[in-house]
């Protein structure tokens, strides 16, 4: 069934993300944490570190708050637009968590394009949901470990279209320990980042 096929593809993403994208995340954190570095030329084109398994993500370009990247784990090319939240808070307040990131990924070999996924920075309770809110609409997400994916794949295109047109969105989730989080992501530069991703992973 289509649902089973979709779930299978996304399970692949769950397994691949930690090995493939930790270096990408490190690059983004490094670049975004130093808006006025002593060596601006180095910050403008940060060299990605090699991820486990020898995968080396490549920065295609930074567009507003979104970076466009590519990598080739296992010989299969994948491309991502990536951003971290512009604002985050938890209830109870100031609960510790790992960095959160949103990805929009394309995997041509699997005919997957513009798949929305989020790393929340904490583990979810099994079978719990998260959700994205944008322009008055809400999109349910299923969760696994510390990641979340759009529950109804048929809604994904509409979500990405809305993301291209709006200034920001809100993501909400609840950790296995009962801490709720609300993250706001700026969508500035997303349309350009997705265009670059599309050029690289046709």
Written as one string, the DSSP assignment of 45-61 is: SPPPPPPGGG---EEEE
> CB–CB of 124/148 below 8 Å?
yes
Question: Taking Cα atoms as reference points, which of 163, 160, 130 lies closest to residue 147?
Answer: 130
Instruction: Please tell me the distance from the alpha carbon of residue 181 to that of residue 174, in angstroms, as a whole number.
Output: 6
15 belongs to a structural domain: yes
23 belongs to a structural domain: yes
Instruction: Please tell me the distance from the alpha carbon of residue 138 to that of residue 170, in angstroms, as a whole number.
Output: 9
Task: Indicate the pLDDT class of residue 125, thresholds 50, 70 and 90.
Answer: confident
Total tally of structural domains belonging to the chain: 1
> CB–CB of 146/98 below 8 Å?
yes
- Cis amide bond preceding 92, omega within 30: yes
The CATH number of the domain holding residue 158 is: 2.60.40.1880
The domain containing residue 100 runs over which residues?
2-33+49-200
Higher pLDDT, 153 or 23: 153
Q: Is the pLDDT of residue 164 over 90?
A: yes
186 belongs to a structural domain: yes
Q: Is the pLDDT of residue 55 over 80?
A: no
Contacts of 116 (CB under 8 A, 6+ apart): 102, 103, 104, 132, 149, 150, 156, 159, 160
Q: Residue 65 has which token pair?
A: 């708050």
188 belongs to a structural domain: yes
**The pLDDT value given to residue 202:** 85
Largest CA-CA distance found in the chain, in angstroms, rounded: 54
27 belongs to a structural domain: yes
Contacts of 162 (CB under 8 A, 6+ apart): 134, 135, 137, 169
Poorest-confidence range of 39-48, 180-189, 192-201?
A: 39-48
Q: Residue 71: CA atoms inside 13 Å, Cβ hemisphere, count?
A: 26
**The pLDDT value given to residue 188:** 97
Q: Residue 138 has which token pair?
A: 């809400």
Higher pLDDT, 23 or 154: 154
41 belongs to a structural domain: no
Mean pLDDT of 100-108: 91
Q: Mapping DSSP to helix (H, G, I), strand (E, B) and coil, where does residue 103 land? A: strand
């Amino acid at each position: 069934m289509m649902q089973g096929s979709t779930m299978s593809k996304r399970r692949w993403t769950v397994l691949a993300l930690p090995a493939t994208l930790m270096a990408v995340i490190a690059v983004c954190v490094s670049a975004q944490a130093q808006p006025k570095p002593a060596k601006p030329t180095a910050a403008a084109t940060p060299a990605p570190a090699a991820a486990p398994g020898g995968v080396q993500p490549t920065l295609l370009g930074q567009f507003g708050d979104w970076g466009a990247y590519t990598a080739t784990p296992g010989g299969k090319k994948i491309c991502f637009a990536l951003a971290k939240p512009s604002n985050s808070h938890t209830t109870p307040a100031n609960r510790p968590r790992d960095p959160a990131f949103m990805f929009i990924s394309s995997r041509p070999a699997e005919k997957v394009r513009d798949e929305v996924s989020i790393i929340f920075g904490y583990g979810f309770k099994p079978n719990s949901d998260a959700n994205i809110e944008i322009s008055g609409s809400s999109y349910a997400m299923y969760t696994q470990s510390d990641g979340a994916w759009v529950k109804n794949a048929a809604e994904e295109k509409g979500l990405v279209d809305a993301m291209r047109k709006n200034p920001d969105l809100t993501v909400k989730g609840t950790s296995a320990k009962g801490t709720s989080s609300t993250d706001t992501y700026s969508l500035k530069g997303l349309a350009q980042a997705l265009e670059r991703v599309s050029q690289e992973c046709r």
